[in-house]
Amino acid sequence: MRKPRKAPSTPDYVIVLTTLPADGEIASMFARTLVEERVAACVNVLGEMQSVYAWEGTVEEEQERQIVIKTSRDRLESLWDRVKELHSYEVPEFVVLPIIDGNDAYLRWIHDSTRPPETDGAEPADHE
């Protein structure tokens, strides 16, 4: 089996993990917003899970959903800003895992899907 080719060093690609309450509609709207705003190429909303965690001196248990976000490193600040705005938790999970290798076409798709939209509508100038 041939090893996947490494993507160009710029931009870097990452997976971001967060959790949301178990409500599937809220999670779906959260995911769609991040993709529509191009701060994420893809957001996986996993099924309900039981989370056990320490919070303010006690052990808590809640039903949550794990959210897996694929994006480029240069969109992390914008992604974090949106997660903070959209998230209901006081301290939302935001764990960034680097993608060190992968399918070149897939990583380019992440790059293309998270490229900020042109804001002024002007066509790029031809350079000869």
Q: How far apart, in whole angstroms, are the C-alpha atoms of residue 3 and residue 8?
A: 15
Cβ of 106: how many Cβ atoms within 10 Å?
A: 16
Q: Are 32 and 40 in contact (CB under 8 A)?
A: no
Q: What angle do CA 114, 119, 121 make, to 5 degrees?
A: 115
Tell me, what's the pLDDT at 124?
46
pLDDT per residue of the chain (128 residues) written in tens, 0 to 9: 555 555 455 459 999 999 999 999 999 999 999 999 999 999 999 999 999 999 999 999 999 999 999 999 999 999 999 999 999 999 999 999 999 999 999 999 999 999 987 754 445 444 44
Helix %, strand %, coil % of the chain (to 5): 30, 35, 35
Per DSSP, 103 falls in state: -
In angstroms, the first-to-last Cα distance of the chain is 42
Domains, the chain, ranges and CATH?
Answer: 13-114 (3.30.70.120)
State if pTM tops 0.85. no
Tell me, what's the pLDDT at 118?
72
